[in-house]
Amino acid sequence: GVMEKLGLGPEVLLQENPKLIYARLTGFGQTGKYAKTAGHDINYLALSGVLSKLGRKDENPYAPVNLLADFAGGGVMCAMGIITALYERTKSGKGQIVDASMVKGVAYLSSFLWKSQNLGLWNRPRGENLLDSGAPFYETYKTSDGKFMAVGAIEPQFYNQLITGLGLDADKLPSQLSFSDWPKMKKKFAAVFAQKTQAEWCSIFDDTDACVTPVLSFDDVASHQHNKQRSSFIKNDQEEISPRPAPLLSRTPAVPSFKRDPFIGEHTEEILLEYGFTKQEITKLHSDKVIEFSKPKANL
């Protein structure tokens, strides 16, 4: 209701411009019991049902930072809605309202979990299933130097390469899908991984299909050979590292900026002047605390 209070709700603006795409990104949505209630990613994730699936056995559910609801179920879904509406407008010539709720967005994002419940992937308690840290062949393991390796050897041919790389005898091990043996196998794998450094395990598993990769830190990720070959990360003029825009378009690839991110309020005056505000009007807005400035100081 914030935009309606300003007299800038979608109905008003669509009357002015029927081709307008008006996106509304919220946590709980425009309507419903929690519509006007405060919340954060963890709350939207909880209400979507997804949080109940995240976590290890005998532990509380945990939220993976704030990526799922805020960015995936919220930002990305909203952007996809805008793109869909823009494409539809090329056919109808009309705009429309995009109602992007993070609860609904992350729930829809989890459709795989709902649709695969009867396939044997999620029919056990949290933390005991194939992809939620239950399986010994889909897990992270600590190395002797305190780093980690990620294992995702689901298919039998990949699992066999995992066993070979670990130096174990497949004939002396239980069946890969023997659920009752999974806890024991996880301990066995953990003991083996703890015997070598991350670099040593990389030398064993690189160039194989065992689906074993290093868990790279933010400090190491840009210098990893694969990421360097793909130019997956960039440095700005402050030597700060960040991911290169993705996905890569063949004809119109994104051109990343190598300048530092602007400070909040750094370009306020510049933008308002560009839009026709006078210096006096801008000064009045600033004195009334409607806008703020944040000019960078010289490093002299």
pLDDT at 118: 86
Q: Which residue is associated with the tokens 């960040």? A: 242
Q: Is 286 a catalytic residue?
A: no
The active-site residue, picked from 40, 145, 206, 220, is: 40
Q: What is the DSSP string of 84-126?
A: HHHHHHHHH---EEEEEEHHHHHHHHTHHHHHTGGGTSS-S-T
Evaluate if pTM is beyond 0.85: yes
Which domains does the chain possess? Answer: 2-119 (3.40.50.10540), 138-215 (3.30.1540.10), 260-299 (no CATH)
Say whether pLDDT at 235 is over 60.
yes
Residue 300 has pLDDT above 80, yes or no: no
pLDDT of 106 above 90? yes
Pick the catalytic residue: 41, 70, 181, 237?
A: 70
Q: What is the mean pLDDT of residues 226-254?
A: 94
Q: Is the peptide bond before 174 cis (omega within 30 degrees of 0)?
A: no
Q: State which H helix or E strand residue 266 sits in.
A: none
% helix / strand / coil in the chain, to the nearest 5? 40, 10, 50
Q: Is 209 labeled as catalytic in the residue annotation?
A: no
Q: What is the pLDDT of residues 181-204, one digit of tens each?
A: 999 999 999 999 999 999 999 999
CB neighbour list of residue 74: distance below 8 Å, 6 or more residues apart: 25, 27, 44, 100, 102, 105, 106
- Per-residue pLDDT of 5-26, as tens digits, reads 889 999 999 999 999 999 999 9
